[in-house]
Amino acid sequence: MHKIGRFLQILGLTALPLALLLNLIPARGSEQPILTVGQQMLAVVGIGMSLFWIGRMLEGYAKR
């Protein structure tokens, strides 16, 4: 349980830099980026925060 929680925390922390990279890389055959700054970026930030929080909760319960 501790390792699963730690993995989810790391996954949550890497979600935002990955989204920023996808925002900088243009899509194939287009000038537009893969992710836009609007709803898609906010969704990735929310998912990353949720993954980190769930991982922290699992890690905390595993230490009890």
**Tens digit of pLDDT for each residue in 5-45?**
999 999 999 988 888 887 777 777 777 777 777 778 888 88
pLDDT at 18: 85
Which domain does 38 fall in, by range?
2-63
pLDDT interval class at 56 (50, 70, 90): very high
**What is the rounded CA–CA span in Å between residue 9 and residue 49?**
9
How many domains, in total, are found in the chain?
1
Burial class (CB in 10 A: 0-12, 13-18, 19+), 55: buried
pLDDT at 61: 86
pLDDT at 38: 74
Give the sign of the dihedral formed by CA 38, CA 44, CA 50, CA 56: negative
- At 8 the three-state DSSP class reads helix
pLDDT at 40: 80
pTM, two decimals, is 0.76
